[in-house]
Amino acid sequence: MVSVRLEKVTKRFGKVVAINNVSLEIEDGKLYVLLGPSGGGKTTTLYLIAGIYKPTSGRVYFDEKDVTDLTPAERNVGLVFQNYALYPHMKVYDNIAFPLRLRKEPKSKIDSKVHEVAKFLRIENLLDRYPHQLSGGQQQRVALARALVKEPSVLLLDEPLSNLDALLRVYIRAELKRMQQDLGITSVYVTHDQSEALAIADKIVVINKGVVQQEGTPEQIYENPRNVFVATFIGNPPMNIVKGSVLEDGTIETTGSRLTPPAAMAEKIRKLGLKTILMAFRPENAVVSEHPMEGKFSPLGELFEVEPLGRDAVVTVTVGEFVIKVVMPTKEAMKLRIGSKVYVNIDPNTIKYFDPNTELNLEYIEA
């Protein structure tokens, strides 16, 4: 097991900059998730760690060892591709044994290792089948077995669940997390699914436009996004964003309602000289009701739609030019009338403030 370090890594494909000056440290034995929209550079980052791509500039380290110029094989990484990339003409046994045979390990040792990993992943009964005879979930396990059998220093997973159906995905997700903890293997997991990332990550690295947007624990990322992109990418539904103007007395006015920010925040806003500001809050930190609630920031809007999702419902309210989504108990939500005037009661302590120009969270700015 090793830690992985990217140092000012840039990767260009012709004129396109896929990864721009990324520095990143992946701790030994931890599960890191690279999260971002497609085309954001997360798979490129993974391939740079694997050695499939060579950085245009910058270095890659495994522990203290510079591996920038090493081949994928010399780095000893295990990689599970999104499409599994099993060898279609080989049986499952030979697929798993392939990396060991290339290392010229003795036959008996190969045999025991293949059976060991197959048993671990519960695919022992599939060893003499061909990949096309397996289901998607089984193929996925075989790909995982092939990656694990060589006891890699780093396990790399490129959207490993995206080809499975929704139900299976949730099961295998838990299994992957358990397996990673049992083996204590340094892992990098790429996904565009924020709920998947929140569910399994020790740490999440949000990547977009070739740049790391934020790095932190799932909790940090969820509770305190560093910028507007992260705020609107994480969460289902994501954070609501409302624009307001800062008045002379330090209060913020939006769509006819006034909010007094906490004193420290008001001070920061004043120091930065912001005239307008973006306020963001999570859908679960607000309640929609027919009357304004005590101690809340309650802009008035019109109820657009209610979508019951079992226990909770997503309530959509239009407040001025903004569309706000609130998650609240279905029972409460069903009492509201579509098209009626309602108040969105936001817990003021959960509101995050962003600079509209830099789109940065003010909590991350020194003023």
**Quick one: which of 36, 40, 131, 160 contacts another protein (CB under 8 A)?**
131
**Quick one: which of 150, 173, 325, 352 contacts another protein (CB under 8 A)?**
150
- Using the contact rule CB under 8 A, the part of the chain among 31-39, 127-135, 271-279, 333-341 near another protein is 127-135
Closest approach of another protein to the CB of residue 92, in Å: 9
Residue 286 is which amino acid? A
Strands 286-289 and 276-281: unpaired
**Quick one: which of 69, 102, 171, 258 contacts another protein (CB under 8 A)?**
102
| Residues paired with 246 in a beta bridge | 252
Comparing CB distances to another protein, the nearer of 79 and 200 is 79
Residue 327 is which amino acid? V
Comparing CB distances to another protein, the nearer of 98 and 304 is 98
Closest approach of another protein to the CB of residue 50, in Å: 6
Contact call for residue 154 and another protein (CB under 8 A): no
Closest approach of another protein to the CB of residue 343, in Å: 49
Site string for another protein, 57-96 (x = CB under 8 A): --------------xxx---xxx-xxxxxxxxx-------
Q: Which of residues 27-56 bind another protein (CB under 8 A)?
A: 50-52
Closest approach of another protein to the CB of residue 83, in Å: 5
List the alpha helices (DSSP H) in 185-337: 194-200, 218-223, 228-233, 263-272, 330-333
Nearest one of 46, 51, 60 to 158, comparing CA atoms:
46
φ/ψ of 45, rounded to 5, equals: -60, -40
- Using the contact rule CB under 8 A, the part of the chain among 21-29, 59-67, 131-139, 177-185 near another protein is 131-139
- Phi-psi label, residue 41: left if phi above 0, alpha if psi -120 to 50, beta otherwise: left
Number of residues interacting with another protein: please give it, by CB under 8 A.
31
Two tokens, residue 232: 């609107």
Comparing CB distances to another protein, the nearer of 82 and 251 is 82
Do residues 312 and 325 make contact, with C-beta atoms less than 8 angstroms apart? Answer: no
**Quick one: which of 15, 16, 108, 132 contacts another protein (CB under 8 A)?**
132
- Using the contact rule CB under 8 A, the part of the chain among 23-31, 99-107, 203-211, 230-238 near another protein is 99-107
**DSSP codes joined into one string, 252-290:** EEETTEEE---HHHHHHHHHHT-SEEEEEE-GGGEEEES
The HSE-up count of residue 160 (CA atoms within 13 Å, CB side) is 32
Which of helix, strand or coil describes residue 169?
Answer: helix
The HSE-up count of residue 18 (CA atoms within 13 Å, CB side) is 19
Burial class (CB in 10 A: 0-12, 13-18, 19+), 325: buried
Contact call for residue 192 and another protein (CB under 8 A): no
Do residues 48 and 72 make contact, with C-beta atoms less than 8 angstroms apart? Answer: no
Contact call for residue 120 and another protein (CB under 8 A): no
Q: Which of residues 308-367 bind another protein (CB under 8 A)?
A: none
Site string for another protein, 163-182 (x = CB under 8 A): x-------------------
Contact call for residue 186 and another protein (CB under 8 A): no
* Residue 170 CA: distances (Å) to CA of 165, 197, 321: 9, 12, 37
Q: Which of residues 200-259 bind another protein (CB under 8 A)?
A: none
Binding site for another protein (CB under 8 A): 50-52, 71-73, 77-79, 81-89, 98-99, 102-103, 130-132, 134, 136, 139, 146, 150, 163
